[in-house]
A and B are shown apart, each in its own frame.
Chain A
Amino acid sequence: MSQNEMAIKHKKMSGEKDQSDPPRYFVRLNFNERAQHMIFVVSFIVLAITGFMVWIPETTLDLLGGAKETVFTVRSVLHRMAGTAMILVSAYHFYYLIFKPAGRRWFVDMMPRPKDIKEFIHNMLYYIEVKEHPPEFDRFSYKHKMEYLALIVGTGLMSASGLILWAESFWDKFIIDIAALIHGMEAVLACLAVMVWHMYEVHLRPHKFPVDNMWLTGIIDEAEMKEEHPLHYKKIMSDPKLRKIYLTKGPKQDE
């Protein structure tokens, strides 16, 4: 029901203003960023599945019968391959942040600011209906910044502890114990956080259900841009340089 309503609403909102102009779309993720995200998603899923397989109880494993050993070998190889992919894409991301203009813009926009705390409080008040309107978010809101910080810290911890466990003979057993503990606990934290925070944001939010395909197209329409990132919208519209970067003609495929 909500999808139809939203579609009508979107049509109205984008249609009413400038009837003559073609609909405008805004770039949220460029191709490079989408590719990074894609590699990260695939490696994350493979790592989660092959990683938590270590904790499957013995009785459940008996269902596999004679295939157990093969499953373990494949699991071990896949986990290391996916881990390597994740470390490489993370390393590339740092390169991207420093050496690419789009990456530098990303870095600047992602920096935490005092404004984020204000916006967070404002948003909480909006949720409990003290305020009537949500805060005017910029390109990245406190939600994105928190998630991004968690992602960087989490990937760092998982990569470091994973590499220590991979080269187990070089370390003091105590270091290995710490690495194993952190690797397991951080995995639980990361997976739960992704499920609650990220999955909700892109799948379960009322007007995003069943999936927000921005992660594939990289663009959103004007109505969504105005609603979710009003400050960024204003900045783009008032700055011809930003217009050049973020405004796009729209999806090539038909809607």
Chain B
Amino acid sequence: MHIMQRIVQKSIKMILSLYSKSLVIAFIAVCSGAVTGFAQPEAAPDEENCLICHRYPNLGRYDEDGTRRIYYINGVLFGNSVHGKVRCKGCHTDLDKIPHDEVKVVDCATQCHIKEPSSNLDFSHKNMVKKYENSVHGQAADEKKKFPEDLPTCTYCHENRSYNPYEGIWGKSAALALETLARCQACHTEKDWTEEIYAHFTHRMRRQREQDEIVRLCTSCHENEQKMMRHGLEVVSTFKDTFHWTMVKYGVKNAPDCISCHVPVGYTTHEIQHRTDPVSPINTRNRVKTCSNQGGVQECHPRATADFAEGRVHAYGSKVQLLTAREAVIAEAEAEAEDSVMLVRARKEVTDEEIFYYKVLSLIRLAYQVLIGSVIGFMVVHQLLDFRRTRKKMKTEGIHH
């Protein structure tokens, strides 16, 4: 019995001491960042030592509004992103105290501490922000914009994407990329730097988003009926009535998505203008060029004529519907302040020709609906009667024979 007790006591002691030792070891390991299981190793040189805290996936809080905020930074992913070489404080300019107090939202027009190599000046997205502010999505273009909170900011579309892996460009094999990179590195021996520059150049040579991703991105705002109504815009479901969308839906390569027509070759997304603006690619003057997509990856409608190109591409939407609605509906729209933006824009933008076209198409649709209903209804009744009568006849004849 004694021996047994001793053995048990000893083993318990041993387990306890091992446990406490391992706790200490674990603590040290956590503090030194040696445990890679739940903390990422540093990838980008972290001169400001931000990752000492921000590498922990559980770092975060619920803010005053109850929104969950995650402050975790994956060092490897960030290091491989387009901003991987920018220091944290290059964008987050006001993070001087620890723990940080009130932090401002990052302004993309900030001059970060990267030198722009062509001019050797501090780099900034200021130019782009300025152009953007003058586009339809910006605030400066139309001072009457009543709901600035609806407008997309830089980060709404730009997510600090990772650089592409060294894959082929435009259908060429990955070997080409590796071969090109090897040639660069023959002279530029600084391996990391060369890879970074190569990634920077080739980044733009590939589509960042698939067609359906583009449509999803744009529709995330443009499908919101209330939001569009406030600004007097049509809901973009009118695009989903077109064969263009059918091709996007099937994942066809180079299928026409939003930017294929609204931002074709030679235009930038940041400078989208209203279609009445002569610089807009969907202005009737520029349509033939846009439809034929000259200079694009593929020529979409190479034989496009003006008659073909100047027609309405999206299905007829809420503006024409509003204008052709009954008097009462228009009066109601006029009474409501929000809807009147829609009405004003509709009256300004929709041509009489479009209204006529819409009416003709609606009439054909209605005629077909009536035709389908009456013809198929007649057929069903006729055949049911026939079925009943034939069955009955067979029964009576069966009895007779």
Contacts and interface: CB of A to CB of B under 8 A. Distances in A.
A126 B385 CA distance: 10
Determine the interface band of chain B, counting residues with CB < 8 A from chain A: 35 or more
Most buried by A among B251, B313, B398: B251
Secondary structure class of chain A's binding surface, majority of residues: helix
B250 A206 contact: no
A219 interface: no
Contacts of B389: 126-127, 129
Interface string A181-199: 1100110110011001100
A206 B390 contact: yes
Contacts of B250: 61, 68-69, 71-72
B397 to A, nearest CB: 7
A105 B342 CA distance: 62
Most buried by A among B249, B371, B385: B249
B368 interface: yes
Interface string B296-334: 000001111101111111000000000000000000000
Contacts of A205: 386-387, 390
B372 A188 contact: yes
B292 to A, nearest CB: 9
Given A69-B253, A177-B361, A128 B375 contact: no
A76 to B, nearest CB: 9
A177 B361 CA distance: 8
A8 B401 CA distance: 10
Contacts of B312: 173, 177
A238 interface: no
Given A205-B386, A205-B387, A189 B307 contact: no
Contact of A9 (B372, B375, B387, B401): B401
A176 interface: yes
A53 to B, nearest CB: 9
Interface stretch (B83-91, B153-161, B224-232, B376-384): B376-384
A170 B305 contact: yes
A6 B395 CA distance: 11
Contacts of B212: 58
Contacts of B114: none
B249 A61 contact: yes
B379 A197 contact: yes
Interface string B355-376: 0010011001100110110011
A38 interface: no
B265 interface: no
Interface in B88-144: none
Interface residues of A, number: 46
B368 A170 contact: no
A206 B311 contact: no
B40 to A, nearest CB: 31
Contacts of B397: 9
Nearest to A208: B390
B388 A69 contact: no
A171 B73 CA distance: 55
B246 interface: yes
Contact of B365 (A54, A73, A171, A181): A181
Nearest to A192: B376
Nearest to B360: A178
B391 interface: yes
15 contacts: A5-B394, A71-B250, A169-B304, A169-B305, A171-B308, A173-B308, A176-B311, A178-B361, A182-B368, A193-B376, A196-B376, A196-B379, A205-B386, A206-B391, A207-B390
Interface of A: 2, 5-6, 8-9, 12, 54, 56, 58, 61, 68-69, 71-73, 124, 126-129, 168-174, 176-178, 180-182, 185-186, 188-189, 192-193, 196-197, 200, 204-207
Interface of B: 212, 243, 246-247, 249-253, 301-305, 307-313, 357, 360-361, 364-365, 368-369, 371-372, 375-376, 379-380, 383, 385-391, 394, 397-398, 401
Closest 10 CB pairs of A and B: A173-B311, A72-B250, A185-B368, A127-B385, A169-B303, A68-B251, A196-B379, A172-B307, A200-B383, A206-B390
Given A171-B308, A174-B357, 15 more contacts: A9-B398, A71-B250, A168-B301, A169-B308, A170-B305, A173-B313, A174-B360, A178-B364, A185-B372, A188-B372, A196-B376, A197-B383, A206-B390, A206-B391, A206-B394
